[in-house]
Amino acid sequence: MLRGLFVTGTDTGVGKTVVASALLHRYRGGLRVCYWKPIQTGIEQDDDTAEAVRLGECQPHEVLEHAVRLPRPLSPHLAAKLCGTSLSVEAVLDPLRSDRRKALWIVEGAGGVLVPINECEMMADMMGSLGWPIVVVARSSLGTINHTLLTLEAVRHRSLWVLGVVMVGDKNPDNREAIERYGRVTVLGEMPFFDPLTPDQVKRWALTELDPDYSLQAGL
């Protein structure tokens, strides 16, 4: 039986790949962990899998490479359409379900919860098909309260389980308190902007500041 965490965000470019890499570092010591990015658009500009391998210091056996890779930094449904193809949740998930590794999978979504995959399916439908606990990555800056609460509401509306939120950016105690209070959720960590963004920086933060109360591990 597959088990894992689904990493989603309040927006594109919010820091999901860095947080996914931190999760790999955080749980590698006690569990076998593997990373997968099912859908990547704009592959000519960004390769989140390669970045997760770098920042998470992944070995080849910790990564599933078979996935959808599309040009143009667009929503998956539009990037696929411009390539003359279409996607479906179940077809996208086939490589994961065919994989025989017994591991805790860290699966990184594309964009946010309501990003369209095709004419009738969204990223939320992929999350629902897996049925795994969800980690939401959010900015710490102005606007994050609304964006984060909307994301939590969309996820819970589909009867999915949010294990916690990771905030990225300069610490903002007021925003953190509002997200925890109104969102009825735990902030698992506050990740700073790393400069330089190196594996050592991500690992050091993950091992000292990410999920210090083992909330995630207890929920798996």
Could you list the active site residues? 37
Residue found under tokens 């009825």? 184
Distances (CA, A) of 155 to 17, 135, 190, 194: 20, 11, 21, 29
Phi and psi, residue 186, nearest 5°: -95, 135
Beta carbons of 116 and 146 less than 8 angstroms apart: no
Q: Provide CB contacts within 8 A for 69, sequence distance 6+.
A: 40, 43
Report the C-alpha gap between 93 and 180 in whole angstroms: 32
Q: Is 52 helix (H, G, I), strand (E, B) or coil?
A: helix
